[in-house]
Structure 1
Amino acid sequence: MNVRLYLWQRGTAALMAPLVLIHVAVMFYATRQGLSAADILGRTRGSVAWGLFYAAFVAAAAIHAGIGIRTILAEWTPLGARGAALAASAFALLLAGLGARAVIAVVMP
């Protein structure tokens, strides 16, 4: 694997690890407090901090998954390196777009 892609994948994994832990901890807290989805959305609406948190999460996940899919496609399909890279890039962009849409839905007032 390309050293640059290796470093990007490891870097995004290192970024996602604490983001996942924070997300899960907040979800446990919210459910234990009996907060409904409407209550949670009421607290996240207009929050720049939550917007940045989840935007970073989405970006890291899209990059990480794109690199992983590229590797899988290159090793397990007849696609060449270029075809695998194009398909993986399209997948990563789709994930980023869907994730951005979710962040906007959760944060925008």
Structure 2
Amino acid sequence: MLTLRLYMLQRITALLMAPLVLGHLAVMIYAIQGGVSAAEILGRTQGSLAWFLFYGTFVIAVSVHGAIGLRTVAHEWGGLKGPVLEGFMWGFGLILLILGGRAVWAVTFATGVNA
């Protein structure tokens, strides 16, 4: 039953990520073709709840999706099972969430050079 739930959760996160990836790519293409600098990008994203929610949702979906996918790889190729496999999945997902969350915070709300 757990495997079915994880399978469905991975598919749901994939459906959620698809439009977010397209939106991210559209923003990146616009920024590159428009010659927008990193400072200009940060000027537009700092203090923006909309960008925080967009990229925050993206990070959560990627963290869940990636952790479940890596769990499958660790089980099939690495032979991990039981609590070790579950701990690996949760640990990897948490690392992705922390790193992605820090990046989103830095781009949307943190201020200063060392943010």
What's the TM-score bracket when you normalise by the shorter of the two chains? over 0.9
Q: Deviations over 1:65-107 (max 9, x none)?
A: 0001111111111321321111111000000000000000000
Question: Which amino acid in structure 1 is aligned with residue 99 of structure 2?
Answer: L
Q: Which residue does the alignment assign to 2:95?
A: 94
Q: Within 5 Å, which residues of 2 pair with 1:18-57?
A: 18-57=19-58
Structure 2 Cα separation of the partners of residues 84 and 11 of structure 1:
22
Find the counterpart in structure 2 of residue 78 from structure 1: 79
Q: Which runs of no fewer than 5 residues in structure 1 stay unpaired?
A: none
Task: Determine the C-alpha separation between the residues in 1 that align with 2:13 and 2:42.
Answer: 27
Partner AA of 1:26 in structure 2: V
Question: TM-score scaled by structure 2?
Answer: 0.91
SS of alignment partner, residue 2 of structure 1:
helix
More displaced, 48-57 or 83-92? Answer: 83-92
TM-score normalised over the length of structure 1 = 0.95
C-alpha separation in 1, matches of 2:66 and 2:106 = 22
Provide the identity percentage. Answer: 52
Q: Which runs of 4+ in 1 moved over 2 A?
A: none
The equivalent of 2:65 in structure 1 is 64
The CA RMSD over aligned residues, in Å, is 1.1
Give the stretch that moved more between structures: 77-86 or 38-47: 77-86
